[in-house]
Amino acid sequence: MKNDITIVKVGSNTIIDENGNIRLEIVRDIVTSLQDVIKNGGRVVLVTSGAVRLGRVALGKDTPATVAASVGQTHLFAAYYQEAEKINLKLAEFLLTRPYIVTREYFLKLQETFNSLLDQGILPIVNENDALVVHTDWSLGDNDSLSAILAISLKAKRLIILSHIDGLFDSDPSKDSNAKLIKTVQDVNNELMKHCSPDISAGGRGGMLSKLKAARLVTAVGIKTQIISGLTAGNLTKALNNEEIGTTFLPRKSNESISNRERWLLAAKNSAGSIEIDAGAVAALKNGKSLLAVGVKNVNGQFNKKEIVEIVDAEHQGIAFGIVDYSSSEIEEMLSTKNLKDIQLMHTDNLMII
């Protein structure tokens, strides 16, 4: 459809070579491909990594990430601007952090601003504001997570992740010459994620495991996801034209059934903690019930009252996100005293089932 939004995320190793130089031919291919979509009435947001690495090339490899990001971001955006100006493509720059998602007022303003830019045929280029939040609780962690959050927040139809490899393989292609590309994935489950190493990619903060977590989150709410190689010119255009390339993760739910408040709940999860519940509680939540303390098995990590916390099952698979009415320490005290009857931990209006 004409107004469908596509989120494109590009990693550090895709646009920066092993010598620390920006691959201008890749930048050129990206902006040209995205301009074609915009000219045809499409709406696109680009999430880009690379600022910290470029800053360390300029200042030295031991430069703190905050300082490197401040300097590197100017080089990174300049490269996109240089290529976009040649084809008369208008750009907007965004440096985001978790508070812009967690605070509902900012979340709504973010939606309003992005949609206004997209309506005018402007390409927003987004990165996390590492100069302020890298290695803090206000960081989103990596740009795979940021791209997933934006996809949910902006009601995108698809997320395309440009990597330095061709997609998801059934084993590590750098170590196994017989590794085969997995072309289609219907369910990003724990078994599938075992194909990935938890190691981050050299020069970046993500990796295939991070990309799979992003795909699991967005496909659960109806957003198609593709991981493709961004090192081959024309691949992005093929993905934008819905050609079979790389690994495609199929959406598991209709995007239309999710309210804007539910989008905020899912995008704004602001605690690393989680609440593990039993099978009976899982069934109750799926039937529209509130979360009661009697169904809780464990509390993982720490969180405060009114934070947005993930709810997981016995296999630690995500079931829902919601605004919790008690802190982790208060819930643990309830569990220790066994005084759980009818105590509501999350109201159904503050829950997003995935």
**pTM of this prediction?**
0.86
Q: How many domains does the chain have?
A: 2
Q: Which of the 8 DSSP states describes residue 306?
A: T
Residue pLDDT, tens place only, 241-299: 999 999 999 987 666 678 888 888 888 876 667 899 999 999 999 999 999 999 999 99
Give 44's strand partners.
Answer: 6
101 and 230 part of one domain: yes
320 and 216 assigned to the same domain: no
Q: In which residue are the tokens 């990174």 written?
A: 76
pLDDT at position 254 = 64
Q: Say yes or no to pLDDT of 200 above 50.
A: no
- Longest CA pairwise span in the chain (Å): 68
Q: Are residues 239 and 335 in the same domain?
A: no
CA distances from 83 to 24, 145, 150, 249 (A): 8, 26, 24, 31
Question: Which tens digits make up the pLDDT trace of 303-346?
Answer: 889 888 889 998 888 888 889 999 999 999 888 887 677 799 99
Q: In this structure, are residues 226 and 161 in contact, taking their beta carbons and an 8 Å threshold?
A: yes
List the domain range (segments joined by +) for residue 32. Answer: 5-257
Question: Rounded distance, CA 278 to CA 147, Å?
Answer: 31
Residue 107: count other Cβ atoms within 10 Å of its Cβ: 20
Mean pLDDT across 134-150: 88
The answer as to whether 24 is a domain residue is: yes
User: Is the residue at 263 inside a domain?
Assistant: no
What Cα–Cα distance (Å) separates residue 334 from each residue in 60, 65, 294, 313, 325?
A: 52, 42, 9, 19, 13
Burial class (CB in 10 A: 0-12, 13-18, 19+), 81: middle
Q: What is the CATH number of the domain that holds 148?
A: 3.40.1160.10
As a whole number of angstroms, the distance between CA 119 and CA 35 comes to 14
Residue 223 falls within a domain, yes or no? yes
Q: Are residues 62 and 156 in the same domain?
A: yes
